Amino acid sequence: MTYEFDLFVIGAGSGGIATARRAAEYGAKVGIAEFDRLGGTCVNRGCVPKKLMVYASHFPELFSDAEGYGWSPVQSSLDWEKMITTVNNEVTRLNGIYQKMLDNSQVEILSGYGKFVDAHTVVVGERQITADKILIAVGGHPTKPNILGIEHAIVSDDMFNLKEQPKRIVILGGGYIGSEFACIMNGLGTEVTQITRADMILRGFDDDLRQEIQQGMINHGIKIVNKVQLIAIEKDAEGIKVTVRKDGETEDTVVVDVVSLAALGRKPNTQNLGLENTKVKLHDGAVVVDKYSRTDEENIYAVGDCSNNINLTPVAINEGRAFADTVFGGKSRTMSYENVPTAIFTNPEAATVGLTETEAREKYGDAVKIYRSRFRPMYYTLAGKEEKTMMKLVVNQDTDQVVGAQMVGTDAAEIIQGVAIAIKMGATKANFDATVGIHPSSAEEFVTMR
């Protein structure tokens, strides 16, 4: 049978665009459907605008730090509207770049929702197309939990469109998205309360990392309320009232301008895709795939957040390129989910790669040895601040292999990226010890820990 496209991609986020372009490089005729702006969550409502706001939030501290180095005090105020406009203008610029990249790759863009008619047929608006291979790359969306008064809250996506800076905000959720937004808003001058049901923020990360970040956030003025059993939201003339109850304690009410559901879960965008017209299976809303990103329908594949492996932009991109290399490039390869580094752009910043201490002990038992260091970086001595950096190596003593690394502190993401290469290659503690450190730097601590 002759098809209109060799590959048709549903969803033009980072994973979908990377796949489409890579397949086109191999000579495939490719089409892609997108109902929203190009770039997906990362470019439009996630990594990019969020990181720009992280940068903006750091300037007040930099102004203060400068005084310790002899600079005169700086009196400055934030123009919220200008910042938000500038951030969104950059997003628009990136949308245009993605458009040019797809055009240059001769990938045809169809505007609208893609929906399966059968395993080889997709309808987009009024147009029905056929394709030999079809890739699902529709990403995910934030969810609203069943909380009384939830209609008065916004989701994390909406943070980039607030017309005015809130004076007071409650962040519901203790995941990395919520923790990042708590730090962003605190740095920009908003009074922040972060509420989580867990005993500590950032569940799933290394416990030392979690403790260090939470205490650092508290030191910077963020109120964190853990172990909350009940949450209710109510709007009145004073603002938005958030009432919480902790086990065995009386109720506590916080009055704010904005309540953000920044970290209470995301779900794959797999509704209304017409998957019932195919053999594609779902598990908890996520597309079930094998190691080659292939579904139970042999010509249909899925990558990125909609398949719910590791929900990170670089993972989606790598999954998509591995698929294109295998199917269209004749270079069979799969995505490895071991030792994927990740960062948390809180204040203090954190980054991690490999196993947490808990995971390592579950896997290797008493063979695990921990190397840990906590110190004040040189930068903060003249600034007169007690900011701390924590570094940690997790080692399997049976092989001397470094199986995990954690860092909390300035430039953690930049430093862990390099450490991740070593861990991915199977470096031992002896390899770390034999590496000459760069002095004076915080990074040298990773090769001097005893």
Whether residue 388 is found in the same domain as residue 432: yes
Q: How far apart are CA 422 and CA 341, in angstroms?
A: 12
Instruction: List the domain range (segments joined by +) for residue 29.
Output: 5-141+267-327
Q: What are the tens digits of pLDDT across the range 374-408?
A: 999 999 999 999 999 999 999 999 999 999 999 99
* Residues forming beta bridges with residue 193, ordered by sequence position: 170, 223
In a domain, 337, yes or no: no
Cα end-to-end distance, the chain, whole Å: 65
Decide: helix, strand or coil at residue 87.
Answer: helix
Q: How far apart are CA 103 and CA 294, in angstroms?
A: 27
Whether residue 443 is found in the same domain as residue 352: yes
Active site residue 141: no
- According to the model, what pLDDT value does residue 264 have? 60
200 close to 173: Cβ distance less than 8 angstroms:
no
E strands, 221-279, where? 223-225, 228-236, 239-246, 251-256, 258-261, 266-268
In a domain, 86, yes or no: yes
Decide: helix, strand or coil at residue 320.
Answer: helix
Q: How far apart are CA 40 and CA 15, in angstroms?
A: 9
Whether residue 89 is found in the same domain as residue 188: no
In a domain, 334, yes or no: no
Catalytic residue, candidates 58, 152, 220, 439 = 439
What CATH number is associated with residue 374?
Answer: 3.30.390.30
In a domain, 287, yes or no: yes
Q: What are the tens digits of pLDDT across the range 124-141?
A: 999 999 999 999 999 999
Whether residue 181 is found in the same domain as residue 212: yes
**Tokens at residue 97, please?**
């770049």
Whether residue 294 is found in the same domain as residue 358: no
- According to the model, what pLDDT value does residue 261 have? 76
Maximum Cα–Cα distance for the chain, whole Å?
A: 75
Whether residue 61 is found in the same domain as residue 97: yes
Whether residue 217 is found in the same domain as residue 301: no
Whether residue 92 is found in the same domain as residue 186: no
Whether residue 396 is found in the same domain as residue 277: no
Residue 314, CA distances (Å) to 18, 47, 74, 417 in order: 10, 11, 38, 13
Q: How far apart are CA 262 and CA 158, in angstroms?
A: 9
In a domain, 251, yes or no: yes
Indicate the residue among 264, 298, 318 that finishes a domain: 264
Q: What are the tens digits of pLDDT across the range 206-229?
A: 999 999 999 999 999 999 999 998
In a domain, 333, yes or no: no
Listed residue (336, 260, 253) closest to 292, CA to CA: 336
Whether residue 115 is found in the same domain as residue 239: no
What CATH number is associated with residue 44?
Answer: 3.50.50.60
Decide: helix, strand or coil at residue 232.
Answer: strand
In a domain, 56, yes or no: yes
* pLDDT < 50: residue spans in the chain: none
Indicate the residue among 264, 291, 319 that finishes a domain: 264
Q: What are the tens digits of pLDDT across the range 315-324?
A: 999 999 999 9
Indicate the residue among 295, 327, 359 that finishes a domain: 327
Domain count, the chain: 3
Whether residue 96 is found in the same domain as residue 155: no
The full 3-state SS of 129-191, as one line of letters, equals: EEEEEEEECCCEEECCCCCECHHHCEEHHHHHHCCCCCCEEEEECCCHHHHHHHHHHHHCCCE
Q: How far apart are CA 264 and CA 203, in angstroms?
A: 12
Whether residue 272 is found in the same domain as residue 136: yes
- According to the model, what pLDDT value does residue 329 have? 98
In a domain, 178, yes or no: yes
